[in-house]
Amino acid sequence: MLRISKHIISDIIRNKIIAAYTIFLFAVTLGLFQIEDDAGKAVLSLLNIILIVVPLISLVFSAIHYYNYLEFVELMVSQPVSRTVIIMSQFTGTTFTLICAFLIGTGIPICFYQFDETTMSLLFSGVVLTIIFSSIGHLVSVTSRDKARGIGVALMIWFYFSLIYDGLILLLLFALSDYPVEKFTLVMSSLNPVDLARIFVMLKMDVSALMGYTGATYKDFFGSGTGTLFSGSVLVLWAVVPLLFAINAFRKKDF
Amino acid sequence: MIRIENISKRFKKHYALREISAEFRSNEVIALIGPNGSGKTTLIKCILGMVFPDEGQIFFRDKPIAGSVMHRAEIGYMPQIGRYPDNMSIRQLTKMMINIRRADRNNIDTELFNAFNLGEIEDKTMRSLSGGTRQKVSACLAFMFNPVVLVLDEPTAGLDPISSEILKKKILQEKAKGKTIIITSHILNELDDLATHVMYLQEGTIRLFSTLEDVVSITGEQRLNKAIAMLMQHNFYNGNLHAKKV
């Protein structure tokens, strides 16, 4: 598998989008730390940007890359290489490069300005989100033959997780405001990897104290062993399940 | 070498292959012919395991190919339209194929590579190559690893006459080594001196599968294109060639 990933990685590194992504993250992180006097505020703004940008780029880039690499995939499929190895190499190649871009772009400035538990958790969440959304991106592109449709679906998924999902939860909260729904919203929001990442980082910050009763419930739950286990399992499932579906679909695909 | 048992393949409602059974042995050059959309490429892709038949099985050296990939190490495949990563140069591409096939660098057949003079343009990227040159690269890759089975999907389409002759000469050489070679082509004249067997597919079924000598002796025509035209006129004697002969 590594020998194929190696070819894919050496090709992606020359990709302009990856370079632009790295530079963008680097500029934003550097800029935020320069503008804000309070490092905590800078990290919070950075968190919001990362939660939007990382899923978007991971999803769309992995989908586009799969379509652009279809020639390579077709060539491999006619060679003595198993289908699982081909799609896994694609996945590891793309994900590895995206993670590197993220760690270089955000990690280096963070190391200079603010290196503590909070920023470490921020970097960790970014890496996990990259893996999850690259996995979903692969599932989308393997299952839809048409490039335009695949990228459309990828964008819809990003839109759903970043905006629509939170909106729906707020709506639900509003409608059920007469009932004690803290536990319910807690479970609901932890089903969304983006929200989970947000909570994970926020709880490491001082701002969690400002979130009032909800913040307290969250801290109670996610601070506990069960909570960590639960959120960890949700994240692992989000990364593994789409990938397994993608592998399965790829193994049955006709070329 | 390759045994096909009752395979059928359907794309949506349309049957691409319908209950195909055949056996290809060593020392045979099978000319796979038929109109566009008759299932030639689908059959080839089934043999390679790129397309999965809905029913039936294919055996390579008496082992079913389903779930295995190693049979592809013994097949050299030249696709109808070779599609390669755009940014890769010819040199990188061949290096990568050697790497992926885990082939011995000293045991590589570079005869076609040299005959086509690909060494001179080795650093050009695949994107910048013309269709014909790309076809040459495909041919080189198919022959490069000394496979026992060669599957050539319209090998000379898009090649200039000189390159076409070089390729034909190479195919004849490999034929002499006793390999199994499957060729599809629409240019029946060039199959005359290559083929030992003829398989005619139509709408996914085999209308004719017989040795070239039989086809020639039954129709009384020396040239394959005339023989096939005559057989088509007589509707392949309803699939029973020998009935006519007797």
Which tens digits make up the pLDDT trace of B156-177?
Answer: 888 999 999 999 999 999 999 9
pLDDT at B227: 86
Percentage of chain A lying above the pLDDT 70 cut? 96
- In the chain, the amino acid numbered A156 is M
- The Cα of A68 is separated from the nearest Cα of chain B by a number of Å equal to 9
**Structural domain boundaries enclosing A130:** 2-252
At B196-245, the pLDDT tens digits run: 999 988 888 888 888 888 888 888 888 888 888 888 887 766 555 554 44
pLDDT at B246: 38
For chain A, the average pLDDT equals 88
For chain B, the average pLDDT equals 87
Distances (CA, A) of B218 to A98, A225, B224, B234, B245: 65, 83, 12, 12, 6
CB nearest A80 (choices: B52, B73, B84): B73
pLDDT at A72: 85
DSSP H or E segment with residue B5:
strand B2-11
Q: Is B12 an 8 Å CB contact of chain A? A: no
Residues in chain A whose Cβ is within 8 Å of chain B: 3-4, 7, 11, 14, 69-72, 74-82, 252, 254-255
Cα-flanking dihedrals φ and ψ of residue B64, to 5°?
A: -65, 140
Please indicate whether, in this complex, the C-beta atoms of A4 and B97 are within 8 angstroms of each other. no
Closest alpha carbon to A5 in A131, A93, A81, A100: A93
- In the chain, the amino acid numbered B22 is A
pLDDT at B67: 78
Per-residue pLDDT, averaged over A131-156, amounts to 94
Please indicate whether, in this complex, the C-beta atoms of A254 and B50 are within 8 angstroms of each other. yes
Residue of B nearest to A70 (CA): B85
A90 vs B contacts (CB less than 8 Å): none
Domain count, chain A: 1
Residue A95 near residue A126 (C-beta atoms within 8 A) = no
Long-range CB contacts for residues B66-73, cutoff 8 Å, separation at least 24: B69/A80, B69/A81, B69/A82, B70/A80, B71/A80, B72/A78, B72/A79, B72/A80, B72/B48, B73/A80, B73/B101, B73/B145, B73/B147
Per-residue pLDDT, averaged over B130-149, amounts to 92
Cα–Cα distance for residue pair B147/B151, rounded to 1 Å? 10
From chain B residues 52-91, the ones with a CB under 8 A of any chain A CB are 52, 69-73, 77, 79, 83-88
pLDDT at A207: 65
Angle between helix axes A39-68 and A193-202 (nearest 10 degrees) is 160
The sign of the CA dihedral B90, B93, B97, B103 is: positive
Residue B157 near residue B132 (C-beta atoms within 8 A) = no
Please indicate whether, in this complex, the C-beta atoms of A11 and B86 are within 8 angstroms of each other. no
Mutant choice from B43, B50, B54, B101 vs A, greatest count of A C-beta within 10 A? B50
Instruction: Identify the three-state secondary structure at position A117.
Output: helix
Please indicate whether, in this complex, the C-beta atoms of B52 and A69 are within 8 angstroms of each other. no
Residue B33 near residue B199 (C-beta atoms within 8 A) = yes
Per-residue pLDDT, averaged over A75-79, amounts to 89
Cα-flanking dihedrals φ and ψ of residue A107, to 5°?
A: -65, -45
- The total number of residues written for chain A in this structure: 255
Residue A126 near residue A105 (C-beta atoms within 8 A) = no
Q: Domains along chain B? A: 2-245 (3.40.50.300)
CB nearest B72 (choices: A72, A80, A254): A80
- The Cα of B148 is separated from the nearest Cα of chain A by a number of Å equal to 14
Cα–Cα distance for residue pair B206/B222, rounded to 1 Å? 22
pLDDT at B242: 54
Tokens of A121: 């958790």
pLDDT at A20 over 90: yes
CB-based contacts of A247: which residues, under 8 Å, 6+ apart?
Answer: A83, A84, A87, A88
Output DSSP code: residue A106. I
Cα-flanking dihedrals φ and ψ of residue A112, to 5°?
A: -75, -40
- pTM summary value: 0.86
Per-residue pLDDT, averaged over A134-163, amounts to 93
- The Cα of B207 is separated from the nearest Cα of chain A by a number of Å equal to 25
Mutant choice from A78, A87, A251, A253 vs B, greatest count of B C-beta within 10 A? A78
A81 vs B contacts (CB less than 8 Å): 69, 100
A80 vs B contacts (CB less than 8 Å): 69-73, 101
Instruction: Identify the three-state secondary structure at position A97.
Output: helix
Cα–Cα distance for residue pair A114/A110, rounded to 1 Å? 5
The count of CB pairs under 8 A between chains A and B is 51
Closest alpha carbon to A62 in A134, A10, A163, A131: A134
Per-residue pLDDT, averaged over B84-112, amounts to 85
Cα–Cα distance for residue pair B81/B134, rounded to 1 Å? 9
Cα–Cα distance for residue pair B48/A189, rounded to 1 Å? 47
- The total number of residues written for chain B in this structure: 246
Please indicate whether, in this complex, the C-beta atoms of B69 and A72 are within 8 angstroms of each other. no
Cα–Cα distance for residue pair A172/A219, rounded to 1 Å? 21
Higher pLDDT, A65 or A173: A65
User: A35-44, A89-98, B21-30 — which is least confidently predicted?
Assistant: A35-44
B96 vs A contacts (CB less than 8 Å): 7
